[in-house]
């Protein structure tokens, strides 16, 4: 005879979410802080316009996607993130020529281009995370 007080058995997999490494959590907080400090300083400078505010909105959306990837939370849908990533990359490349803000601020050409290259290299894991987050086969989309 079965114990009436025992929890029922089930074949349903509870689908524990995969945890991201500590690297991703550290990266998330560092890139978020640096990005928002940079964008706020650009928005407070003279010459900030609609392009700068649009880039700030895109940064907020990208940060939400990175958060979803790092902490395996559902933010919007997987079909949104890869097209957004393409648009975000194009907008990021087009940002400097379209913005009225002087981003060189007295830097020589060499120093400016090296700093831009370092910024893009440091951003690569974030772009990769948004790409992976947009895959339907990735966490958290596989657990329903």
Within a domain: 79: yes
Within a domain: 91: yes
- Is residue 129 left, alpha or beta, with left meaning phi > 0 and alpha meaning psi from -120 to 50? alpha
Report the pLDDT averaged over residues 61-83.
87
**Domain count along the chain:** 1
Question: What per-residue confidence (pLDDT) applies to 16?
Answer: 52
- Is residue 72 left, alpha or beta, with left meaning phi > 0 and alpha meaning psi from -120 to 50? left
Report the pLDDT averaged over residues 81-97.
87
Is the model more confident about 34 or about 2?
34
| C-alpha of 71 from chain center | 12
Residue written as token pair 């003279």: 46
Q: Give Dmax (Cα) for the chain.
A: 83
- Sequence-distant (6+) residues with CB within 8 A of 6 are none
- Detail the DSSP E strand segments found in the chain: none
Within a domain: 125: yes
Q: What is the DSSP letter of 17?
A: P
Within a domain: 8: no
Within a domain: 9: no
- Is residue 106 left, alpha or beta, with left meaning phi > 0 and alpha meaning psi from -120 to 50? left
Within a domain: 96: yes
**Of 77, 72, 63, 58, residue with least CA distance to 134:** 77
Within a domain: 74: yes
Residue 20: is its pLDDT beyond 80? Answer: no
Helix H or strand E encompassing 20? none
d(CA 138, CA 144): 12
Within a domain: 140: no
- Per the structure, the complete domain to which residue 127 belongs is given by 22-133
Residue 12: is its pLDDT beyond 60? Answer: no
Both tokens of 114, joined, read 């090296």
Full-model pTM? 0.74
């Amino acid at each position: 005879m079965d114990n009436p007080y025992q929890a029922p058995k089930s074949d349903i997999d509870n689908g524990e979410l995969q945890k991201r490494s500590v690297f991703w959590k550290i990266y998330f907080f560092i890139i978020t802080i640096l990005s928002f400090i940079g964008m706020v300083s650009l928005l407070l400078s003279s010459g900030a316009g609609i392009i700068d505010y649009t880039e700030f909105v895109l940064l907020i959306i990208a940060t939400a996607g990175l958060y979803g990837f790092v902490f395996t939370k559902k933010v919007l849908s997987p079909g949104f993130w890869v097209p957004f990533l393409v648009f975000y990359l194009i907008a990021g490349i087009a940002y400097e020529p379209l913005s009225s803000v002087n981003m060189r601020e007295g830097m020589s050409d060499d120093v400016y281009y090296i700093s831009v290259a370092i910024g893009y290299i440091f951003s690569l894991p974030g772009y990769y995370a948004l790409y992976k987050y947009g895959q339907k086969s990735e966490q958290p989309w596989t657990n329903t």
